[in-house]
Homo-oligomer: A and B are copies of this chain.
């Protein structure tokens, strides 16, 4: 769980760890008010009690900083979600419920969500590793909700599509082009993909290799 945090950079001293934490805190704080635009590097530095140059040493760009902030928040959310697993009948319901729960959490801090999500989708190649970490975290949350240990490639693809939908739906909501109800419907719609791919391999602790879970689509 902590393995997917930092790769293996030089281990930070205590003061450095504290600085890093202050920076992330300041970032989340500022994002919480004004959103993306309110996270100004000079202000973050000042709020964190750190020189501008130092801020840039820790996070090489504003995007890096916000993506790291998102990692941080996601990790928290994952922990929270684990405490109360979703209670749906089938995987699709559980995933939809989990995502809607996450969504409601974001609703409480729409500005923060705005800053993080905008940074995430705006990130270019130089931020790929960090964005990938966020993606893996999200995947983990969804797989958790599905209750899967060894997903098939098809299921992984469905999960990717769900992630796509999740991010993009979030954006349309944040920019005021979709209502909450619509986001809910979209999430539920995409979650139906799970049933499409899940049926054959789910309950079996199955010996044997992950048997070809063909597409038993009921049509």
B121 near A189: Cβ-Cβ < 8 Å: no
A175 near B219: Cβ-Cβ < 8 Å: no
Q: How far is the CB of A90 from chain B (nearest CB, A)?
A: 10
The stretch among A6-14, A49-57, A143-151, A156-164 that forms the contact with chain B is A156-164
Q: What are the interface flags for A66-110 relative to B under an 8 Å C-beta threshold, 1 for contact and 0 otherwise?
A: 000000000000000000000000000000000000000000000
- Interface residue tally for chain A (C-beta within 8 Å): 42
A154 at the interface (CB under 8 A from B): yes
A47 at the interface (CB under 8 A from B): no
The stretch among A23-31, A128-136, A205-213 that forms the contact with chain B is A128-136
Does more than half of chain A's interface fall in helix, strand or loop, or is it mixed? helix
Q: For A169, what are the chain B residues with a Cβ–Cβ distance below 8 Å?
A: 164
Q: How far is the CB of A186 from chain B (nearest CB, A)?
A: 5
Work out how many copies of this chain go into the complex: 2
**Given A121-B171, A167-B168, residue A157 in contact with residue B132 (CB < 8 A):** no
B128 near A175: Cβ-Cβ < 8 Å: yes
**Given A165-B165, A199-B219, residue A125 in contact with residue B157 (CB < 8 A):** no
**Given A163-B168, A164-B168, A168-B164, residue A196 in contact with residue B192 (CB < 8 A):** yes
Q: Give the residue name and chain of the B residue nearest to A132 (CB).
A: B177
Residues of chain A having any CB pair with chain B under 8 Å: 36, 114, 118, 121-125, 127-128, 131-132, 135, 154, 157-158, 160-161, 163-165, 167-169, 171-172, 175-177, 182, 185-186, 189-190, 192-193, 195-197, 199, 217, 219
